[in-house]
Structure formats: structure tokens, C-alpha cells
Amino acid sequence: MKRTNRKFLGGFLAVLGILALWVLVSRNSQTSEISIQRESVVDLVFGIGTLFPEEQFDLKFAVPVNLTQKFVRLGETVKKGTPLIAAEGIGRLSSPIDGVITMFDINVGENIPAQATVLQVTNLKNLYMRVDLEQEAIAKVSKGQSVRTNFDAFPGETFQGRVEAVFSSDSRFIVKIILESLPKGALPGMSSDVAISVGLPREAWVVPAWSVSKTQPLQVLKKSGEKIEVTSDVKLLSGDKAEITSDQISEGDRLLTKLKR
């Protein structure tokens, strides 16, 4: 009797497992209908931005000297004119800028090598963003273009800015960006996703970015009820949207997708 009950329970659990798997597969294979909207869009160039200080003072000496006094500590906030150190044969040296002591790597009595950075003062309130781009992308960027950026350290927040300069350095193509505001707690070295608006606004077919794939053709439900397969270029836009390009799409058509958010 007990053996019969075990067989019955085992069979019941197996049926439940099959039903659960069927429900899961059924849900994952469901097709969603997405409205294809006609919207005004702007072409974007994407990159990874890094924050840099506009003002930074590196204390160096042209010849070896001996450190005789320290007046500040690592991490201390200083004002312009605050005494920093004293060195033998030179006397006191003061900070030329407001900022924070972000490097101080020597003790009193030690010799300072020539051209070695002894101390660093960084203005943490005046930061800019730098983006390195490929030459094909930077050719589309120019001073004054608008920028949107999202920091890894501050999810859910978007910050606006503009292109301040475009230049090259050591075979690298660089965009300097000034942000309208910085997140509270922003520090040099923090990274963010950057979208630079290039070109003029134009009309385009737009869908949610999650609903399309760059490697698969689109399944479209025509307004007439006909289902067709469409080959389209897919271009990411700002705001989690994507542009689809095809002369087979018209007003009232809907995208059929099995992709999930």
C-alpha cells in the first residue's frame, strides 16, 4: 500500500513539473504587439565619459631638496594661499588654488627627487568630462552640441551638458564636455555613459529598444491584418528607444516581438 502511495505521489509530482514547464515555455513564447510610432529623432554618438578636474596643482622641484615641514595632510581641504610645506633652502610654499590634498607621499626629513610630484591639490568642485572616440565618430561631433549622460555611480539620474571642445592628443580623438550640473559626490575618475546629439531633428519610425534585435528581421502586423517580415536597420536612440528604417512600414502598423524587457 505504501509503495502504491509513493508511486502515485511520484507520478503526481511529475505531472505538476510538466505542467509548470509548459506554462513557462508558453509564457516565454508569447508574442507582444508594439505600436510603431512616428517621432522626431536626432542621430547620436555614444561613448564612455570620465570626469577630470579643471584645476590641479602638482608640486615639483627642479633640483633635489629636503622636506623640513608639513602643514597639511592627505584629504585636507585648503584655500588659495594655505601653506603646504617648507623645504630646505626654499622656505614655505603655499597652494595656488582652492582644493583638496589628493596626494602627499613624503615625510619630514626625506629628500625629494628632482621632478617628482610631492604633493597634489585638486579642485573637486570644478570638473569636466572627457570622452575618447573613434575617428569615424568624432568626425560628426562639434562644439556646442548637446549631451546627455548617466553615471554608473548614480543610477536613474540623467545629466545634461554641451560639447566644449574637440581635439586630438597622442593619436587619441577627444571630446571635452561641460555639464550643466554634477551629481552630489561626483569625483575625478568616475565614468558615465554619454550620448552626443549630432545632426538636425528628423522624422523616423520608433519602437522601444528592448523590443528589437539588430541581428533578426522584424515581424510586422500591417494595419490590414497581414503579417510580413521586414529587414531593417536598427539604430539606438536616447531614452531607451530604437529607430527602425524600412519603406514597408506605414502608419498604424504594429511590431510583433517575443523579446522581453
CA distance 71 to 51: 29
Over the chain (261 residues), what is each successive 10-residue block's mean pLDDT? 53 54 51 90 92 96 94 96 94 96 93 93 96 95 96 93 96 96 94 93 91 89 91 81 90 89 73
Which of these, 97, 2, 106, lies nearest to 57 by C-alpha position? 97
Domain assignment present for 15: no
Q: Which domain holds residue 68?
A: 58-122
C-alpha cell at 130: 572627457
Which of these, 82, 79, 70, lies nearest to 118 by C-alpha position? 70
Are 176 and 232 in the same domain? no
Domain assignment present for 18: no
Query: Residue 49 to residues 32, 45, 82, 124, 237: CA-CA distances in angstroms?
Result: 35, 12, 33, 17, 18
Are 144 and 169 in the same domain? yes
Q: Are 235 and 41 in contact (CB under 8 A)?
A: no
Domain assignment present for 224: yes
Question: Which residue among 122, 149, 170 closes a domain?
Answer: 122
Are 167 and 156 in the same domain? yes
CA distance 190 to 108: 33
Are 68 and 196 in the same domain? no
Domain assignment present for 91: yes
Strands (E), the chain: 32-35, 37-53, 56-59, 65-70, 77-78, 83-87, 91-94, 99-104, 111-112, 119-122, 127-133, 146-151, 159-169, 172-179, 191-208, 218-221, 227-230, 233-237, 241-245, 254-257
Domain count, the chain: 3
Dihedral sign of CA atoms 218, 221, 223, 224 in order: positive
The CATH number given to whatever domain includes residue 196 is 2.40.30.170
The CATH number given to whatever domain includes residue 209 is 2.40.420.20
Are 49 and 148 in the same domain? yes
pLDDT score, position 22? 46
pLDDT score, position 7? 54
CA distance 143 to 149: 17
CA distance 240 to 163: 22
Are 237 and 170 in the same domain? no
CA distance 77 to 97: 11
Length of the chain: 261
Are 194 and 213 in the same domain? no
Parallel, antiparallel, or unpaired: how do β-strands 83-87 and 56-59 relate? unpaired
Domain assignment present for 6: no
Question: Which residue among 200, 231, 247 closes a domain?
Answer: 200
Domain assignment present for 12: no
Domain assignment present for 21: no
**Cell 615641514, located at residue:** 69
Question: Which residue among 122, 146, 168 closes a domain?
Answer: 122
User: Cα dihedral angle (10, 11, 12, 18), rounded to 10 degrees?
Assistant: 110
Are 138 and 250 in the same domain? no
Domain assignment present for 11: no
DSSP state of 248: T
Are 139 and 195 in the same domain? yes
Are 35 and 68 in the same domain? no
